[in-house]
Amino acid sequence: MARFAGGKAPFLRISDQPNQGTGIIMRDFMIGLAPVILFSWYKNGIQVMIDGNIGFFEMLYPLIFILLGGLMSLIMEGITLYIIHPDSRSLKGVMAKLSTSYPMVPGLLLAMVLPLYTPVWVLIFGCFMGTVVGKMLFGGFGHNIFNPALIGYLTIAVTLTGVINAAGGVFNASEVLVDSYAGATPLTLLSRIKELDYDKLVAPYGTLWNFFLGTIPGALAETGALAILVSYGWLVYRKVIKWFTPLIYVGTVFVLSWFIGIASGEPGIWFPLYSILSGGLMFGAVFMATEPVTTPRNPLGKVVFALFLGVFTVLFRYISTLPEGVATSIVFLNIFTMPIDNWTAVIRARGIKKQTAIKASVFAVLFIALVLYAILKAGSMYTAFIQGPIGIGGWF
Amino acid sequence: MLFRKIKGVRIEGNKQMSRCAPLRDYLDPPVVSIPLLQGMSVLKPAVEVGANVKIGDIIAYREGFGAMPIHASIAGKVTAIKKVWHASGRMVEAVEIENDHSGALSDSIQPEKNPDGLDKEALIQKMIDAGLSGLGGAGFPTYIKYQTKCPIDTVIINAIECEPYLTCDFLMSIKYPEKLVKGLHYFMKAAGAEKGVIAYKAYNQAVEDAVKPYLERFPEITTFPLKDVYPAGWEKYVTEAVTGKTYPKLPSQVGVIVNNAGTAIAYADMVENNIPLIARNITITGEGITNPQNFYVPFGIKVAELVALCGGYQEGLDPKYAWYIAGGPMTGKAILIDDLVVNDTLGAVIVIPTPKEKLHPECLGCGKCADACPAFLTPTEIKRAYDMKDETAIRNLQADKCIACGLCSYVCPSHIEITDAVVKARDSLKKGA
Amino acid sequence: MKVFFGKHGFILILVAIFVLIFGLGGVYSRFMTSELEEHIEENATGAEYALYLEMFPGADTLTPYTPGEVSKTYPLAGGRGDFAPTVDKALKILQGTSEKGVVYVINTKGKEPMKVGVGISLENDACVGIAVLEQNDTPDYFSQLGDPFYSQFDAKALSDLALAVDTFAGVTYSSKAFEIALFYARELYAADYDFVIPTVAMTLVKLEYNFDPTTFIASPYIANIIYGDQDTEAAVMLSASFDYVGLVGGGTDLEADFQAAVKALAQGAGTLNTQASFVSFDEENNTLVMQTKGYNPNAIQASIVLNDTLDIVVSITFVSMETYANQGGYGDYTGGPAPAVENNLRNQYLADGDPNVDGVAGATVSSNAVRSLLQLLDGFVEAQNGGE
């Protein structure tokens, strides 16, 4: 009688298959980032060099900058592991830990949402805040509450914006020469003029088609909606992210912006389109709102999370003084991931029954109240520049 | 309702290994040890050591819930009542019978003169007398299903066999299609149902081809192909797919009874020839088996004998790095010693080498488990509640609905024993209740 | 030491990489920032340089250089005194390695300070274009300068003694700015290159108004000059734009060289107020018609009735449409419609016979115009008297 190995059912595991598991998810995620990184490099490096505005070494900067972000957060996580884990005090030990904790992701994502002319030391500071403070101090991968990249981003946004602007800011060497941009990205412009006027908000940057392609000023990788959509398609195809989270998030912002437009007298569909195509919304929706550790696990929870993300983004963006709102709303909702997950898990397991109706209605009432507040408040804050109707073609 | 449609997961079947060889009868082993355990209930032996038994003689009784007799699977002498390894992973008492190769049948095994004349009660009584329990894997006494007070309109025969590697139900169905159809026919009569459905996996077209000729006599019986996903063979999935109805606890609540194909074939024999439940089909397969095959064997036979018939273990197989799984790979148990006997719930023995050790990250929180769960549970939350020993939360999260299908662990990219945790949480509820 | 490295070598390497990236990255970022600043500056000058290169077909490079120092003053239009233009920068225009020309960026002044680039070709010593870089003149006037005006600079030989700019009617102030720039550029060019500003031996002794009613319409000015090797004295009549008309009292006309020279000298003298001029004289009724230029492109007209000996003004009647730009009146003055200001000044003059009348507040330009008309008129009357 031979003695066999023990184990627990099920004996088939996707994670045991040779072409599956951590490494593959990591690889797929990196491939998913590639179109956005390449677009960012093209827009801020190659195209600018083709325009003749920068030299070769400046052309390499966006690419090196983004990769440096990944490398720095890798190194910092390695050093932190070495310090806090006595059993990781060797190359092998640290490597073993790093190979399963996706160490490069926070830095890469952080670098991608920073302006082009961010000094490297600011990036390193952001990586430190994200990786060490936002991730490792919570107990490392899988235990962090907040999205590490966004912790880094928000810290920089609060403390070091001036430094970044002094170093050159968000415009690349071609954009800085365009007088019509007037030193503002579309969203900072809106928060400045508080007026829904196509000629002022969209026309200086071309048409909405430019917004879609991403040839408008903005942080390194956040503008390329088309490239982000390609990434989205790949990540969904490889099942790295859930298809509906970004869709619901962006959709909520779209619908709400439309209503806000109507409430302030601008019923044109260009405004919701402008809303979802400008700033980091698409990027945040695809790469941050789907980040698994800090968002709800069950599908219903993801839906609720995405819906609230949409509302809070609109609130932060159009009602508070923050021009962006994506990062803030994601980090804010990260706090509520646990309760949302728990409640929706119960609702999902039981269906809408007497026991779960209260929880479901709390979500519904909260959501509707926030939506109404956003529409009424923003509708009264913004004025629309009434003009003759333009055909949809005119916006592209 | 949104997000509450059972999707199932497509799992690589690995069925081709044991599919090609025909079902092999091996009904005359030298010795059998019939375990005295069915489900959770320990059986009371009805024979003494040294007694002579014929095939079909009662050797034990199941008592309490689902009380019914258990029969000898071969003719011969009871040599001992001693412990053997059981598919549940424990050692249990078993009645050992040494075969005298006489093949003598019990007196009760007589052809029924007019099987179609039997009424509902008589048909249910036959289930009890024959000790019929589900051959699908749960081993639930069949007659309990038919004693339901709910009106039944459909009986579904589950020939789906959604677990990977398993092929014995498929081979059984194409070998005995007439018995399958007849068994269903009697089930319908026993339930008073108007419709009968044979559900099979869409790619097993052979099942439909085999049963088609016999369906002409039974127009109320139809076939229904299902998608190749796991767990397509789960009662709830089958019921929802065939009738479009979902039920909270039991299929009879929506007028449906689901039975395994093997059970139906055995039942046809019971009704027409009064043969009790003494044999079953079993798949011996896996990468660790030289020549995987399916057998039709009496209860109590040693699996090692069957493995030997399959050419033994694959050369070079190191048992330390291989699993010996009783049951399907998704729900079965790893048996540490390959000294196992066949009982009513053992549909397969699979020997596969263990996968290479890999480093796995901590829980990503990706939610794939929640996504895959056919019962719409959120395993991560249940695990968290279980770790915190929060019984109210476990109950609120409906851990009792878990069917231990193993999908959450299967899809988990971090190789977390999540199924195990949820099952433990579920069982802690049962103990508490 | 070896033990220490064996134990902590790994972390030391990580920290070293960290520090290395920190340092090199910082250098890289600083490089990026300084390059960006440079690019912005380059681009601003790049657009300006493109204008200059356009003036010289085939040219491809510009090199800034330090021009020679030249200080000169020129009278501004409207009798507002002298102005000393300065050179902002000078650029050599190259085609490959061969020098094609030079551009002087000159701070000049129209109504307000103005900055223009004057391109001079080395091949034919000619101005090949003027580019306006900055100007703050009244937009309504400045915008009237169109292609016909600017095209005169496309090929203007610097060897032209007078080098006069054809003033665009009504935009005298701005036109003058271009003329100053052009003259000053010629001076700079002469200082930097092998070019001599054409000169003729001539001295302008006196430049005065022509008060002879029989000729003053065609030639309102008379210049007394000494010219030629023999220091010949002559009095010449000049047209409104200082063109040579003829000698006073007839005689042999000046040679072409001297004609140009007298124009250049008269033009450059700037001692006469050219704002007012005579239009016609009716001998039978002793009626003199004069005009002067205020704000309105249609000049202020005055009919003046004189006594028989033409030495006493009997009455002055103004015909005026003086309105300031689009405001429908004299600048800030709102005392009444035109010719209220003119009449006010006339009454001052008729009261005491002093042509240096006090201007009316809020209507400075019109007052200046009328004052110069009265001064010219007074000069005429005095001249008749003196002639007796």
Range ranked top by mean pLDDT from B274-278, C93-97, C141-145: B274-278
pLDDT per residue over A311-330, tens digit each? 999 988 888 777 678 999 99
Using left for φ > 0, alpha for ψ between -120 and 50, and beta otherwise, residue C119 falls in: beta
CB proximity A9 to B under 8 Å: yes
Residues A80 and A222 in one domain: no
Most B-contacting residue of A3, A15, A334 (CB-CB within 10 A), to test interface: A15
Smallest CA–CA separation between A9 and chain C, in Å? Answer: 40
Taking CB atoms and an 8 Å cutoff, what residues of chain C touch A119?
25-26, 29-30, 33
Letter for the amino acid at C155?
A: A
Taking CB atoms and an 8 Å cutoff, what residues of chain A touch C14?
75, 78-79, 82
Q: Which of C29, C39, C43 sits opposite A119 (nearest CB)?
A: C29
CB C61 within 8 A of CB C94: yes
Q: Which of C7, C21, C33 sits opposite A117 (nearest CB)?
A: C33
d(CA B18, CA A219): 58
Answer yes or no: do A75 and C17 touch at CB < 8 A. Answer: yes
Residues A362 and A276 in one domain: yes
pLDDT for residue A386: 57
CB B35 within 8 A of CB B27: no
d(CA B74, CA C276): 142
- Whether C304 has a pLDDT exceeding 70, the answer reads yes
Q: Residue range C59-81: average pLDDT?
A: 82
Residues A262 and A130 in one domain: no
pLDDT for residue B408: 92
pLDDT per residue over B266-291, tens digit each? 999 888 888 999 899 999 999 889 88
Range of the domain at A355: 191-395
Closest C-alpha among C143, C185, C131 to residue C168: C143
pLDDT per residue over A91-139, tens digit each? 777 888 888 888 899 999 999 999 999 999 999 999 999 999 999 999 8
Q: Which of residues 310-329 of A touch B (CB under 8 A)?
A: none
pLDDT for residue B328: 87
Most A-contacting residue of B88, B303, B351, B364 (CB-CB within 10 A), to test interface: B364
Instruction: Name residue, tokens 């912006």.
Output: A257
pLDDT per residue over C326-363, tens digit each? 555 676 776 677 777 888 888 888 888 788 888 777 77
Q: What is the mean pLDDT of chain C?
A: 81
Residue A2 lies in a domain: no
Cβ-based contacts under 8 A for chains A and C:
77
Smallest CA–CA separation between B4 and chain A, in Å? Answer: 8
Q: Which helix (H) or strand (E) holds C203?
A: strand C202-209
- Whether A268 has a pLDDT exceeding 60, the answer reads yes
Answer yes or no: do A78 and C31 touch at CB < 8 A. Answer: no
Percent of chain C residues past pLDDT 70, beyond the cut? 93
Report residue B264 as tokens.
């139906």
d(CA C244, CA B199): 118
Q: Which of A91, A117, A120 sits opposite C25 (nearest CB)?
A: A120
Whether the bond between A389 and the residue before it is cis, its omega within 30 degrees of 0, is no
d(CA B40, CA B139): 10
CB proximity A121 to C under 8 Å: yes
CB proximity C17 to A under 8 Å: yes
Closest C-alpha among B68, B54, B160, B136 to residue B97: B54
Q: What values do phi and psi take at A210, rounded to 5?
A: -65, -40
pLDDT for residue B297: 92
Taking CB atoms and an 8 Å cutoff, what residues of chain A touch B404?
9
CB proximity A215 to B under 8 Å: no
pLDDT for residue A41: 93
Residue A186 lies in a domain: no
Smallest CA–CA separation between A14 and chain B, in Å? Answer: 6
pLDDT per residue over A226-264, tens digit each? 999 999 999 999 888 889 999 999 999 999 999 988 888
Smallest CA–CA separation between A69 and chain C, in Å? Answer: 11
Cα angle A58, A61, A63 (rounded to 5 degrees) comes to: 140
Smallest CA–CA separation between C36 and chain A, in Å? Answer: 6
Most C-contacting residue of A44, A53, A117 (CB-CB within 10 A), to test interface: A53
Answer yes or no: do A297 and B370 touch at CB < 8 A. Answer: yes
Q: Which of B336, B406, B411 sits opposite A4 (nearest CB)?
A: B336
Taking CB atoms and an 8 Å cutoff, what residues of chain A touch B401?
349
Report residue B190 as tokens.
């026993």
Answer yes or no: do A75 and C43 touch at CB < 8 A. Answer: no
Residue A183 lies in a domain: no
Smallest CA–CA separation between A75 and chain B, in Å? Answer: 18
How many residues does this entry show for chain A? 396
Q: Which of residues 252-311 of A touch B (CB under 8 A)?
A: 292-303
Show contacts of B43-46: CB within 8 Å, 24+ apart. Answer: B43/B70, B45/B81, B45/B93, B45/B95
Using left for φ > 0, alpha for ψ between -120 and 50, and beta otherwise, residue A80 falls in: alpha
CB proximity A100 to B under 8 Å: yes
Smallest CA–CA separation between C48 and chain A, in Å? Answer: 14
Q: Which of C14, C25, C28 sits opposite A78 (nearest CB)?
A: C14
pLDDT per residue over A153-187, tens digit each? 999 988 998 898 888 888 888 887 776 776 778 88
Residue A251 lies in a domain: yes
Taking CB atoms and an 8 Å cutoff, what residues of chain B touch A344?
378
| DSSP 8-state secondary structure symbol assigned to residue A288 | I
Q: What is the mean pLDDT of chain A?
A: 87
Q: Which of residues 153-182 of A touch B (CB under 8 A)?
A: none
Residue A181 lies in a domain: no
Residues A72 and A196 in one domain: no
Most C-contacting residue of A177, A178, A181 (CB-CB within 10 A), to test interface: A177
Range ranked top by mean pLDDT from C97-106, C208-217, C289-298: C97-106
- The CA-atom distances, in angstroms, between A2 and each of B89, B313, C214 are 15, 11, 142
Against chain B, the chains showing at least 3 CB pairs within 8 Å are: A
- Whether A5 has a pLDDT exceeding 70, the answer reads yes
CB proximity C191 to A under 8 Å: no
CB A277 within 8 A of CB A270: no
Q: Which of C18, C22, C32 sits opposite A61 (nearest CB)?
A: C32
Q: What string of pLDDT tens digits covers the 433 residues of chain B?
A: 445 677 788 888 788 888 888 888 888 899 999 998 887 788 888 888 888 999 988 999 988 888 889 999 999 999 989 888 888 878 888 999 999 888 888 888 888 888 888 888 889 998 888 888 888 777 788 888 888 888 999 999 988 888 889 888 889 898 999 999 999 999 999 998 989 999 998 888 888 889 888 888 888 999 999 888 888 888 888 888 888 888 888 888 899 999 999 899 999 988 888 899 989 999 999 988 988 999 999 999 999 889 999 988 988 888 888 999 988 889 888 888 888 888 888 889 999 999 888 778 888 888 889 988 988 899 999 999 999 988 888 888 888 888 888 999 998 888 889 999 999 999 888 776 5
Q: Is chain C touching chain B, with at least 3 CB–CB pairs below 8 Å?
A: no
Smallest CA–CA separation between A57 and chain C, in Å? Answer: 9
Q: Which of A15, A346, A352 sits opposite B396 (nearest CB)?
A: A346
d(CA B400, CA B272): 39
Residues A109 and A208 in one domain: no
**Residue C228 — very low, low, confident or very high, per pLDDT cuts 50/70/90?**
confident
Closest C-alpha among A186, A177, A192, A252 to residue A217: A186
Topology, domain C276-387: Sufe protein. Chain: A (3.90.1010)
Percent of chain C residues past pLDDT 90, beyond the cut? 2
Answer yes or no: do A121 and C32 touch at CB < 8 A. Answer: no
Q: Tell me whether strands B37-38 and B41-42 are parallel, antiparallel or unpaired.
A: antiparallel
Residues A301 and A383 in one domain: yes
Taking CB atoms and an 8 Å cutoff, what residues of chain B touch A299?
3, 367, 370-371
pLDDT per residue over C190-201, tens digit each? 888 888 877 777
Closest C-alpha among B88, B93, B57, B89 to residue B75: B57
Residue A15 lies in a domain: no
d(CA A16, CA C92): 74
- Whether A147 has a pLDDT exceeding 90, the answer reads yes
d(CA A112, CA A127): 12
- Whether C134 has a pLDDT exceeding 80, the answer reads yes
Taking CB atoms and an 8 Å cutoff, what residues of chain A touch B358?
15-16, 21-22
- Whether A388 has a pLDDT exceeding 70, the answer reads no
Q: Which of residues 39-68 of A touch C (CB under 8 A)?
A: 53-55, 57-58, 61, 64, 68
Taking CB atoms and an 8 Å cutoff, what residues of chain A touch B338?
1-2, 4
Residue A185 lies in a domain: no
Answer yes or no: do B324 and A294 touch at CB < 8 A. Answer: no
B419 Cβ partners below 8 Å, 6+ apart? A8, A9, A10, B379, B404, B405, B406, B407, B408, B409
- The CA-atom distances, in angstroms, between B273 and each of B108, B169, C186, C272 are 9, 22, 129, 142
Q: Which of residues 232-261 of A touch B (CB under 8 A)?
A: 239, 242
The SS3 assignment for C244 reads: strand
Report residue B313 as tokens.
């273990």
Smallest CA–CA separation between A25 and chain B, in Å? Answer: 8
**Residue A22 — very low, low, confident or very high, per pLDDT cuts 50/70/90?**
low
Domains along chain B with CATH numbers: 10-19+105-357 (3.40.50.11540), 368-432 (no CATH)
pLDDT for residue C388: 43
As for how many domains chain A has, the answer is 2
The SS3 assignment for B379 reads: helix
Instruction: Name residue, tokens 């827009």.
Output: A43
Q: Tell me whether strands A195-196 and A383-384 are parallel, antiparallel or unpaired.
A: parallel
CB C103 within 8 A of CB C89: no
Maximum alpha-carbon separation in chain B: 65
Answer yes or no: do A348 and B376 touch at CB < 8 A. Answer: yes
Smallest CA–CA separation between B60 and chain A, in Å? Answer: 29
pLDDT per residue over A204-234, tens digit each? 888 888 899 988 888 888 888 999 999 999 9
pLDDT for residue B112: 84
